[in-house]
Amino acid sequence: MDLFKKCDDFTLADEYKELGIYPYFHALETKQDIEVLMEGKRRIMIGSNNYLGLTGDDRVIEAGIKALREFGSGVSGSRFLNGTLTTHIQLEKELADFLHKEACVTFSTGFQTNLGIISAIAGRNDLIFCDRENHASIYDGARLSYAEMVRFLHNDMEDLERKLQTADSSKGKLIITDGVFSMSGDICNLPEIVRLAKKYGARVMVDDAHGFGVLGEYGRGTAEYFGLEDDVDIIMGTFSKSLASLGGYMVADEKVVEFVKHKSRPFIFCAAITPSNAATALEALRILKSEPERPKALLDIAKYVREGLKAKGLNIIENSIVPIIPIYTYSMLRTIMACKVLYERGVYVNPVLPPATPEGECLIRTSYTSTHTKKLMDEAIDIIADVLNTLPEDDESLMAMLDTSHE
């Protein structure tokens, strides 16, 4: 059989494009902000992870420009060899200090960070206990490690304990969880995870991509939020969200960081973060440290929107405080149609479809920024409510709408 037969058989994207409802790859024409220009029209941006609103901050932009002039556009090699800059070292030092850990190592992307940490720290004689709703990069990192992966039900501590109880005591054990789950906005039950880890001799790793800059009095993330910074062994995070750049990091005890730096193939064999990426992340970190009111403003605007959507009768996932607010749209077709109409009305959101959700439980994911204003959010809430409260709930009626629009 031809290897590319699967490519020929994949027609779903073309079908959605033909119907005029393909929801992906809309092109930005301006910098990421609370309002953007996309494909010639103003859109209210509530579909990005620019949590602290720093991607357009003049200080961050100038730091990137300065780094380009000082160090050039790239490093032409891995950190292991010629690719280490003084900026990388300073960024790692300040991140470790801020997150109250001994050491830090940075990676070129957030996805690569999980691949690099997990594949180095776990091996064939180890067990990885993985929340079922963890990010895809955690799953891929576990596969790359060749450790045995044991999945537990989402945020279900009884299920986790059952699986820890039956684990081979001779094997190393690592519990990995998202701090904030990217689709639902759930916060992990970190206190119970830490308790179980101590009881059964496991280590704890938290993917805090969506927790850093969001949770905790100073924005240090999920561990700070629960007062458990000394009890989490490994924390990873990304620069592409609160830190307004691209890349990722790991903080842990120095001996653990040194091991990963010398054993992680995704770290050793990948070019380092570009000078501008490192410099912009460092500047964003310094702004967060000097302006700790930003995380509070972020949670305040999230609360305002959550209450506004509920007041309009919309069915949201509301068991969290974070700036990720999913709204149930149920069927795949209704979800994509909702995103299309919202986009046309000037509001950008993200569809969440299977396998990211169970069949029949599709969502539109909305996410917010500390610089969003209540006035702008009122406009977005009114549009979302008008669209979702008038859009048919059954696929047959939705298809009829599409047929009419194509006549």
pLDDT at 401: 80
66 is catalytic: no
Indicate which residue of 241, 245, 276, 367 is catalytic. Answer: 241
pLDDT at 115: 98
Indicate which residue of 137, 182, 184, 242 is catalytic. Answer: 182
Alpha carbon of 260 to those of 55, 79, 138, 253: distances in Å? 30, 13, 16, 11
Write the pLDDT tens digit of every residue in 9-49.
999 899 999 988 999 999 999 999 999 999 999 999 999 99
Neighbours of 281 (CB within 10 A): 32
The larger pLDDT score, comparing residue 394 to residue 225, is at 225
What's the rounded mean pLDDT across residues 80-106?
Answer: 97
Question: Is the distance from CB of 357 to CB of 215 less than 8 angstroms?
Answer: no
Write the pLDDT tens digit of every residue in 224-272.
999 999 999 999 999 999 999 999 999 999 999 999 999 999 999 999 9
Strand partners, 41: 38
Question: Is the distance from CB of 159 to CB of 126 less than 8 angstroms?
Answer: no
Write the pLDDT tens digit of every residue in 199-212.
999 999 999 999 99
- The model's confidence at residue 400, banded by pLDDT at 50, 70 and 90, is confident
| Homologous superfamily in CATH for domain 5-51+292-405 | Aspartate Aminotransferase, domain 1 (3.90.1150.10)
The number of residues in the chain equals: 407
* Joined tokens for residue 277: 């990426």
Please state the pTM of the whole predicted model: 0.95
Question: Is the distance from CB of 326 to CB of 399 less than 8 angstroms?
Answer: no
- The model's confidence at residue 405, banded by pLDDT at 50, 70 and 90, is low
Fold of 58-290: Aspartate Aminotransferase; domain 2 (3.40.640)
- Give the helix/strand (H/E) hosting 122: none
Write the pLDDT tens digit of every residue in 308-320.
999 999 999 887 8
Nearest Cα to 251, choosing from 194, 206, 289?
Answer: 206
210 is catalytic: yes
Residue ranges per structural domain of the chain: 5-51+292-405, 58-290
Question: Is the distance from CB of 46 to CB of 56 less than 8 angstroms?
Answer: no
Instruction: Decide if pLDDT at 335 tops 80.
Output: yes
Indicate which residue of 88, 210, 340, 372 is catalytic. Answer: 210
Question: Is the distance from CB of 66 to CB of 254 less than 8 angstroms?
Answer: no
